[in-house]
Amino acid sequence: MASLTPTSKTLFLFHRPHLKFSSPCLETFLQSSFVSKRVSFHFKVPVFDRMPLKTATAVSATTAEKPKKRYPGEAKGFVEEMRFVAMKLHTREQAKEGEKEVKEKEEEAVRKWEPSIDGYLKFLVDSKLVYDTLEGIVEKAVFPFYAEFRNTGLERSEKLAKDLEWFKEQGYTIPEPSSPGATYSQILQEMSEKDPQAFICHFYNIYFAHSAGGRMIGRKVAEQLLEKKELEFYIWDGDLSQLLQNVRDKLNKVAESWTREEKDHCLEETEKSFKHSGDILRLILS
């Protein structure tokens, strides 16, 4: 009779369906323990609705934040991203970071060029048309942030006007703008009104390319055709490196409000910018 009391209490536990035991062997142990005369209860505190380990792990993996993809140059600002893409489109003869194969004469190292005065004048005239267009666009500022790029010190239109006047005084006939310059000017005008990210790509590449490779071209032409005369096109009022940095800062600031998709769209325009600038540059060798 002594065994009846613990047995009834134990059965009371087994008839509670809401209790779940932490070990599958616990219930067997409790049931088998009543065979012996001396009954002892060895059970752990029941665990209610425990989540399976695999499920918990899956939830944790799903909710964990994925590492953010980093773009080349991104840590230094968007201008560095543009620079990185642009340098890849140079040839190895033009820049150590270049990856493009040499296919056209203007893609060769500048030291191998054989420019002509007539071709150079065509280049200057078409370049002036493009710079006139750029300066007009930022002055009009269809998109408000264009106004940030007024009076940067990088403007070239007025400088080119002085150079063309000098050539005229030397007896040269100044040609009318040709197809490469006229085409690019129209493209820039239309683009600036509908696609600001694409326009900024062209704006950056035109001004910054002239401050680097453009100066090398200027020296080459001056040595071969102009008795080393330095044209105004290659002279800036003030510290050029600081002027460039000021524009970099403004470009980076503008791009901070862009989505990743808008930034990628801007970068994708780089190759088109190189093509149109290359068409104008090719005039020097015509």
Mean pLDDT of the chain: 81
Position 205 pLDDT exceeds 60: yes
What is the predicted pLDDT for the residue at 100? Answer: 67
Q: What is the pLDDT of residue 7?
A: 45
Cα separation of 173 and 101, whole Å?
A: 36
**Where does the pLDDT of residue 48 fall: very low under 50, low under 70, confident under 90, or very high at 90 and above?**
very low
CA distance 77 to 132: 28
Question: Does pLDDT of 31 surpass 60?
Answer: no
Residue carrying structure tokens 């080459």: 220
* CA pair distance 219, 110, nearest whole angstrom: 10
Mean pLDDT within 40-56? 46
- At 100, phi and psi to the nearest 5? -80, 145
pLDDT digits (tens, 9 = 90+) for 119-171: 999 999 999 999 999 999 999 999 999 999 999 999 999 999 999 999 999 99
**pLDDT at 88 exceeding the cut of 80:** yes
Q: Residue 71 gets which letter from DSSP?
A: P
* 257: three-class secondary structure by DSSP: coil
**Strongest mean pLDDT among 8-17, 98-107, 215-224:** 215-224
Is pLDDT at 17 greater than 90 in this prediction?
no
Distance CA 259, CA 261 (A): 5
Q: Tell me, what's the pLDDT at 107?
A: 60
Share of the chain above pLDDT 70, in %: 68
* Neighbouring-strand partners of residue 91: 100
* Per-residue pLDDT at 197: 98
CB atoms within 10 A of CB 142: 12
Query: Where is average pLDDT lowest: 58-62, 212-216, 244-248, 267-271?
Result: 58-62
